[in-house]
Structure 1
Amino acid sequence: MSKFDAIRPFYDAEVNDAICSSLNHPMMKALMNFTFPGVDDDIWKEQLRRTYSIRDFQINFIYRALMKVLEKTSDGLTTSGFEKLEKNTAYLFISNHRDIILDTSLINASLFDHGLVMTASAIGDNLVQRNFLHTLSKLNRNFLVQRNLPPRELLMSSKLMSEYICRLLRRENRSVWIAQREGRTKDGNDETQQGVLKMLAMGSDAENLMDYFRKIKIVPVSISYEYDPTDALKMPRLLAEAKQEIYKKEKNEDFITLMSGIMGQKKRIHIHVGDVLKNEFDAIETQHDNTNKQIQALAQIIDDAVLTGYKLWPTNYIAYDLLHGTQKFADKYTESEKSIFERRLEMRIDENNPVAVQGFLAMYANPVVNKMKYADAN
């Protein structure tokens, strides 16, 4: 028994048995019929039976499924910055987090397209409660982030995960993806939680924390969707928070959000990979000798990189102008784009609820606000 068995993905030696045990699951059939329309079930089942590694499963099935998703629900994916990364090198990708499945799937597809090391990716255990989804996540090289634990167990779980991430990066030469915060951004403000960095720091055996962060090659990543397919689904939580109420998820809410994110309309998508953080650590060490202050400074550097790399779409500018009653960015969109966005707002949000309308618009407008603040500060 490995100490990481509770959270790790499958080893390649376990892949074929896991696939064969899921061959006749209705969700596997739905996934394969979507990916290979018109192909007889016996054909894809036979191909799956011959699959013995995570890489083969990802390339031959998941990558193709993702291309089908992009074809049906988007106007295409563009990328920038991947050409700066070195082949056969493990990186720790820290990105903003908008969609449960697609964020990491699109990054991995882009890494594959550029001939780079694909990631092991963190996923909350609340998202894989169903047996099939748990199996599928392990086949996709996801490792589990254990949620809703008492404080002592949470600390132990965080230490275990940090050790596992360190092992992947330093010993297995496996890149890792982790979100800059726990849970997806609901309001369009992409901010790095210091707790995420403190968790990563637990895996350090270096006397100097910044030395450890240098070694694990942190790369900030920005993911920008023109339309958030789960925008309306984020409203109940925002409304509860506006009323200072504790939000309780509905049964199956995570699964509905997961599926909506995959199959909902996204229009254009852009992923930007920032520079590997290097010299930034020298500046942090020079300015701060307190660990907490260093973590705080690093979080700010990641925030700045994510914000700088974030691509603003017409929807962001439209939302800003609607929210603030201005024409400030009218040159950034057409009347047609504006009317389509307004129609989406009408269809998804109760216009008699001003808090909901403002929350919806702010979700799209906040990246513009943050870019403006950043430009003014620099």
Structure 2
Amino acid sequence: MMGEFEAIRPYDDAEVPAVLARLFADDAFLGTLTRYRFPKLAGPLGWLLKPVIAHRLRREFDGIKSVAALQDRIEHYVDNTIMRATDGVTYSGVERLKPGTAYLFLANHRDIVMDPAFVNYAVYHANLPTPRIAIGDNLLQKPFVSDLMRLNKSFIVHRSISGRREKLAAYQLLSAYINHSIRNDGQSIWIAQAEGRAKDGDDRTDSAILKMFHMSRKDESFAAVIRDLHLVPVSISYEYDPCDQAKARELQIRASTGSYAKSPGEDDASIALGITGYKGRVHINFGSVVGSASEDAKQLAAEIDKQILSGYRLFPAHYLAYAMWDQKDPELKVPDASAVFPADELAAAKAEWQKRLGACSAEQRPFLVLQYATPVRNQYRIKAGLPL
């Protein structure tokens, strides 16, 4: 059965040793690691450091013969990265997940690598199997990145296809794979609620993604298929977004020129900054399984949005941004940050927020404010029972 998914599936246990051997001999991969570990020495002494790093990796990962063993081995690296770049990770709703049930985690999308990594972290620490992760082929420019992601249970979403017929076939395959993973393999799936990150802070589910889940089972009702997939909306909240300045710049250029062209290596830079940059506190909320799936994808998207936006954790910076936002909604009763947070927490947030505003040019600043203020508006509109 797996033959039809050959082009997109994650690697299985039997492939792990060969893929690791290939990675540890990959010059581009070793170069990236060298630059990350020894930024000052990588240029002049890279030729000397690469074989040393390769030798250490081979020794450390010797005897790893399964994906689960690999995840166990890299867990402390993940934990260290999280410790260094955050002020702590909390999660809620994870207790609702039942062992032995495979879920379709549909999450808001702010960071390329860390969104699924934090969901993995929450699930792994709750002693549940980690999900398979949907990743766009636009991010897999280098063979080693593809190898790394597919080793870590990622499967490929073909986004860079242009022809209509090819696109349809790719979505059909993706739909079949997601359904097969949950129903036949009993393996959970993580996928973003829309293509690309919500750079303006406005988290919305694209109903086309919901329709895609149904594509491979057209003879069944949409509601039955969605129920069958145990869809759980997930809210991922960062106190601070390491890429907020870059996003503000892109939004401002888009607003003033009508378009934005990425420069070569921009995705790689976003990935690196997203992983290592300071995030403050991070919260992951797992919503309830969407039970009352309607036959209408737009209606279902609205129901999912309600859960994702309500489960989003608002931090002091969000309230500070909302207070200075020129598009704030006079109908909404949004309290002042001082009424919600203790004074010491608020003082620290004010200092960090001022630092971020100061690093942003005057014309880009409104787009920085927008990113942090929008979740406040969305959540308070839901609280007030107003349409989004």
Structure 1 length normalisation: TM-score? 0.89
What residue in structure 1 maps to residue 42 of structure 2?
none
1:369 equivalent in alignment to 2:377: yes
Structure-to-structure mapping, 1:1-378, within 5 angstroms: 2-25=3-26, 27=29, 42=55, 44-61=57-74, 63-150=75-162, 151-204=164-217, 206-243=219-256, 245-278=258-291, 280-281=292-293, 284=294, 291=295, 294-324=296-326, 328-333=336-341, 334-347=346-359, 349-351=360-362, 353=363, 356-377=364-385
Structure 2 gap segments, 5+ residues each: 38-51, 329-333
- Amino acid corresponding to residue 276 of structure 1 in structure 2: V
- Amino acid corresponding to residue 373 of structure 1 in structure 2: R
Cα deviation per residue 1:283-322 (whole Å; 9 max; x = unaligned)? x3xxxxxx5xx11111011100101111000110111112
SS in 2 for 1:323: coil
What residue in structure 2 maps to residue 288 of structure 1?
none
Aligned length: 358
Contact 1:126 1:147 in 2 (8 A): yes
Once residues 49 and 161 of structure 1 are traced to their aligned partners in structure 2, the CA distance between those partners, rounded to angstroms, is 34
Structure 1 gap segments, 5+ residues each: 285-290
Residues 166 and 28 (structure 1), Cα distance of their counterparts in 2 relative to 1, 3 Å cut: farther
SS in 2 for 1:97: coil
Contact 2:316 2:337 in 1 (8 A): no
- CA drift of 1:115 comes to 1.5
What residue in structure 1 maps to residue 48 of structure 2?
none
- CA drift of 1:218 comes to 0.4
- CA drift of 1:29 comes to 7.8
Contact 1:97 1:185 in 2 (8 A): yes
Residues 152 and 339 (structure 1), Cα distance of their counterparts in 2 relative to 1, 3 Å cut: same
Residues 239 and 29 (structure 1), Cα distance of their counterparts in 2 relative to 1, 3 Å cut: closer
Once residues 66 and 34 of structure 1 are traced to their aligned partners in structure 2, the CA distance between those partners, rounded to angstroms, is 15
- Amino acid corresponding to residue 359 of structure 1 in structure 2: F
What residue in structure 1 maps to residue 41 of structure 2?
none
Residues 30 and 148 (structure 1), Cα distance of their counterparts in 2 relative to 1, 3 Å cut: closer
- CA drift of 1:139 comes to 0.5
Once residues 218 and 104 of structure 1 are traced to their aligned partners in structure 2, the CA distance between those partners, rounded to angstroms, is 16
- Amino acid corresponding to residue 75 of structure 1 in structure 2: D
- Amino acid corresponding to residue 9 of structure 1 in structure 2: P
Once residues 35 and 258 of structure 2 are traced to their aligned partners in structure 1, the CA distance between those partners, rounded to angstroms, is 42
- CA drift of 1:83 comes to 0.8
Once residues 315 and 131 of structure 1 are traced to their aligned partners in structure 2, the CA distance between those partners, rounded to angstroms, is 39
Q: Which moved more, 1:103-112 or 1:236-245?
A: 236-245
Once residues 36 and 272 of structure 2 are traced to their aligned partners in structure 1, the CA distance between those partners, rounded to angstroms, is 13
- CA drift of 1:176 comes to 0.2
- CA drift of 1:43 comes to 5.1
Contact 2:248 2:365 in 1 (8 A): no
- CA drift of 1:201 comes to 1.2
Residues 247 and 34 (structure 1), Cα distance of their counterparts in 2 relative to 1, 3 Å cut: closer
Cα deviation per residue 1:259-283 (whole Å; 9 max; x = unaligned)? 10000000100000011111x22xx
Residues 114 and 327 (structure 1), Cα distance of their counterparts in 2 relative to 1, 3 Å cut: closer
Q: Which moved more, 1:137-146 or 1:63-72?
A: 63-72
- Amino acid corresponding to residue 69 of structure 1 in structure 2: T
- CA drift of 1:241 comes to 2.8
- Amino acid corresponding to residue 23 of structure 1 in structure 2: F
SS in 2 for 1:223: strand
- CA drift of 1:64 comes to 1.9
Once residues 117 and 31 of structure 1 are traced to their aligned partners in structure 2, the CA distance between those partners, rounded to angstroms, is 28
Once residues 112 and 29 of structure 1 are traced to their aligned partners in structure 2, the CA distance between those partners, rounded to angstroms, is 30
Contact 1:89 1:117 in 2 (8 A): no
- Amino acid corresponding to residue 17 of structure 1 in structure 2: A
- CA drift of 1:74 comes to 0.6
- Amino acid corresponding to residue 200 of structure 1 in structure 2: F
- Amino acid corresponding to residue 297 of structure 1 in structure 2: Q
Once residues 87 and 115 of structure 1 are traced to their aligned partners in structure 2, the CA distance between those partners, rounded to angstroms, is 9
Once residues 244 and 343 of structure 1 are traced to their aligned partners in structure 2, the CA distance between those partners, rounded to angstroms, is 28
Cα deviation per residue 1:156-175 (whole Å; 9 max; x = unaligned)? 10111010111100000000
SS in 2 for 1:297: helix
Structure 2 length normalisation: TM-score? 0.87
- CA drift of 1:65 comes to 1.9
Once residues 249 and 169 of structure 2 are traced to their aligned partners in structure 1, the CA distance between those partners, rounded to angstroms, is 32
Q: Which moved more, 1:205-214 or 1:5-14?
A: 205-214
Percent identity between the aligned chains? 34
Cα deviation per residue 1:349-368 (whole Å; 9 max; x = unaligned)? 112x1xx1111001001100
